[in-house]
Amino acid sequence: MKRIYSLMTALAFSLLATSSLAANPTDVPKNKQTTLGLYLSPTETWDIVQKAPEKVLFIDVRTRAEASYVGMADGVDGLVPFVDHDPFWAWDSKRNAYKLEPEQNFISEINRRLAGKNLNKDATIIVMCRSGTRSAVAADRLAEAGFTNVYSVVEGFEGDTSKSGPDKGKRTVNGWKNDGLPWSYTLVKDKMPLEN
């Protein structure tokens, strides 16, 4: 039985390494493209995390507030915000939103989480944000830091916004939650960043 599990795991990772599982990279919107060109859908991510959780680091890169108020995907190894809100809630007039600041310890926290699973920079790392844009930037930052196998969940946790109809502007198109994958509002302390 153990041998069959090992063979299934090897097959899953060989498929991951040799295919563009989620989409043809040219079909990925420009703002969601990464330098490594590695993409997954939420369903593919869930399948991989279920088959070989010990061989993958699955990271939610959204803010603490997003995780607290919107929930988190099951199977995530940790919340490591790529950016977070300015502590004084400064306003960003270009975006018409509260200003986001880069997290200074993003790379060191990813390294810590990898070490906690006995993985290294060449391990499969999957990053997910709200809709796939921030995770693409986070994947690029990891690639710049020497990580070689970083996948972005293209549709993110909440998905893309509907362009028309009664749900126009709402995140109802795709994404982890809209795909019916498991998630919860209950947060696990060991998975949360507790310090800046």
| Chain center to CA of 84 | 15
User: What pLDDT, in 10s, does the model give residues 46-81?
Assistant: 999 999 999 999 999 999 999 999 999 999 999 999
* Closest listed residue to residue 176, CA positions, set 166, 164, 168, 184: 184
Write down the residue that tokens 């603490």 correspond to. Answer: 64
The structural architecture, per CATH, of the domain 19-181 is: 3-Layer(aba) Sandwich (3.40)
Instruction: Please say if the pLDDT value at position 169 is more than 80.
Output: yes
Task: Identify whether the C-beta of residue 174 lies closer than 8 Å to the C-beta of residue 160.
Answer: yes
Is this prediction's pTM over 0.95?
no
* pLDDT over 90, % of the chain: 71
Band of residue 140 on the pLDDT scale cut at 50, 70, 90: very high
Mean predicted confidence (pLDDT) in 141-152: 98
- Position with higher pLDDT, 76 vs 25: 76
* Closest listed residue to residue 136, CA positions, set 117, 148, 123, 153: 153
* d(C-alpha 133, C-alpha 136), whole Å: 5
Band of residue 23 on the pLDDT scale cut at 50, 70, 90: low
Q: Which amino acid is at 20?
A: S
- Of the ranges 11-25, 38-52, 91-105, 119-133, which one carries the lowest mean pLDDT score? 11-25
Neighbours of 68 (CB within 10 A): 14
| Dihedral (CA of 184, 170, 32, 93) sign | negative
Band of residue 17 on the pLDDT scale cut at 50, 70, 90: very low
Q: What is the pLDDT of residue 29?
A: 92
Beta partners for residue 73, in sequence order: 183
CA angle 189, 190, 194 (to 5 degrees): 70
Longest dimension (CA), the chain: 58
Q: Which of 21-25, 89-93, 126-130 has the highest mean pLDDT?
A: 126-130
For residue 46, with 0-12 CB atoms within 10 Å meaning exposed, 13-18 middle and 19 or more buried, which class applies? Answer: buried
